[in-house]
Amino acid sequence: MKHLGLGFALAFAASTFAAAADPFSTGALAAKSAGDSLQRALGQPATPCQPPAPAQALTLAEVVDLALCNNPQTREAWANARYQAAQVGVAQSAYLPSLNLAVSSSRNSGSATLQGGGEQRYNQTQASLSADYLLYDFGGRAADLENARQLVAALNATQDASLQTVFLAAVQADYQWFAAQAQVAAAGESVHAAGESLKAAIARQQAGSATPADRLQAQTALSQARLSQIRAENDAMNARGNLDFALGLPADRAIRLAPPPEVSPDARFEGDVAALIAAAKRRRPDLAAAQAQLLAAKAGVASARATGMPSISLFASRGDNHSSLFDPTQSNTLGVSVSVPLFSGFANHYRLSAAKAQVEARRAQRDALSLQVGLDVWRAYQALLTENQALRAAADLVAAADESEKMARGRYNAGVGTIVDLLNAQSALASARGQQIQELYNWRLAKVGLAQAMGQLDYAAIETQRQP
């Protein structure tokens, strides 16, 4: 029994080591934590997933970091990648022999013709240690391992795509919050201007150079401006709730955000759109995932083909049988077995056909996604060009509207202009300011939209510094 005892010790030690360690180093195939995945995929410059200080005004990068760490979608994608990495270990285990220990003990009774006959009772203990090792299977193990590895690559790329999706949603919510705040400020300026117009109308009426109609029109314009301000404040509160949701926080959570820096349109992305599309096809993580899925499906064909092929295995066993009635016996076995599948009810044939069809489906999905990537980049590129032009036009519009409002106010105060001209000029200025604010944030969103379409939306693609 000492050999079996040694075998039991070896089997126990192997299982203990496997439970406590990672013998195939599959942990390196995926990020060790959700925070590590941010550093790997997005170039996070600081230690990720650290809670911000209560009084700290968060930069855009910190807002994104908070969203990525809190969002369940990113944690699910990370867990899926870790799961598939463990499946690589399962596939690699097929290259090692299997060791099995069986021990049984029984109390037996029966009739026997020994020293006077009669019923005999005896104890019996049996133990056996067996080992099996697959020598050759026509590439089945290699195909299964390749399939598992490609699926890990696919899920890692899918995780990167999920991170970019959550990243973009956080940036959009952040920009929309500041855009809504800017609209509130612009509405406040309109209320102030309308109030000054009302004062001027009252002064002219008291001086006898204006009619009560001027005062009423100015009063109406002030009321409309206040109503617009109330609506803008409501939109801002809704935008703040949407931002909290994107960050995975309760809607009533109060956090401080530092405003974004002043920026102006640039031409960094105004280049050859064909080159941008080609770059996107190299970088887009969802396209990389589709390619890995295709390679995994091809490995599945090889695995299905090997299922119908013979396999050669080496086996060995040692058994001990101890009985209180008979002498101990031992048995040793060593041999080679060849398994040849002759007929499986056509299962292997249809399994191979299904695997080949899966390859065609994955290829079609990859090709469709490749076309979609080109369309995404084209649309994002055109949107950025449009927003560059629109932002410049909005700046010109505000300058012209501001000059017109000043002129109309001067003419009215001088008694040569009408209240209608002044109110129209103020309305045009308020509208121009609102358009400029919206175009500014549309331009910011177009920039990150193009970065996301190209598969390079990371911390380096956004303004990491804000105004204090």
Q: What is the pLDDT of residue 72?
A: 83
Percent of the chain with pLDDT over 70: 85
Structural domains of the chain, ranges and CATH numbers in brackets: 26-97+139-309+347-461 (1.20.1600.10)
| pTM for this predicted structure | 0.78
Whole-number Å distance between alpha carbons of 430 and 355? 63
Structure tokens at 173: 């919510």
Whole-number Å distance between alpha carbons of 391 and 174? 19
| 250 CB-contact burial (10 Å; exposed 0-12 / middle 13-18 / buried 19+) | exposed
Residue 83 clears pLDDT 80, i.e. is over it: yes
Average pLDDT of the chain is 84
Whole-number Å distance between alpha carbons of 38 and 43? 7
Q: What is the pLDDT of residue 357?
A: 97
Rounded to the nearest 10 degrees, the angle between the axes of helix 347-413 and helix 419-453 is 160
For residue 220, what are the contacts with CB-CB under 8 A and spacing of at least 6? none
Q: What is the pLDDT of residue 465?
A: 41
Residue 75 clears pLDDT 60, i.e. is over it: yes
Q: What is the pLDDT of residue 228?
A: 92
| Residues composing the chain | 468
End-to-end CA distance of the chain: 77
Structure tokens at 248: 């995975």
Q: What is the pLDDT of residue 265?
A: 65
CB 431 within 8 A of CB 398: no
- E strand map for 63-173: 98-111, 119-136
Residue 124 clears pLDDT 60, i.e. is over it: yes
CB 444 within 8 A of CB 242: no
The phi, psi pair for 366, rounded to 5°, reads: -65, -45
Which range has highest mean pLDDT (28-37, 209-218, 236-245, 321-330)?
236-245
Grade residue 313 by pLDDT with cuts at 50, 70 and 90. Answer: very high
Q: Which residues on adjacent β-strands are paired with residue 337?
A: 313
Ramachandran assignment for 25, one of left (phi > 0), alpha (psi -120 to 50 degrees), beta (any other): left
Which range has highest mean pLDDT (66-70, 207-211, 312-316, 319-323)?
312-316
Grade residue 463 by pLDDT with cuts at 50, 70 and 90. Answer: low
Whole-number Å distance between alpha carbons of 458 and 47? 15
Whole-number Å distance between alpha carbons of 43 and 459? 6
User: Please, what sign has the CA dihedral across residues 104, 105, 109, 112?
Assistant: positive
Q: What is the pLDDT of residues 140-190, one digit of tens each?
A: 999 999 999 999 999 999 988 888 888 899 999 999 999 999 899 999 989
| Collapsed DSSP state (helix, strand, coil) of residue 255 | coil
| 207 CB-contact burial (10 Å; exposed 0-12 / middle 13-18 / buried 19+) | exposed
Spacing of C-alpha 223 from chain mean position: 47
Q: What is the pLDDT of residue 15?
A: 55
CA distances from 109 to 125, 126, 320 (A): 14, 16, 20
CA distances from 193 to 179, 302, 416 (A): 21, 76, 19
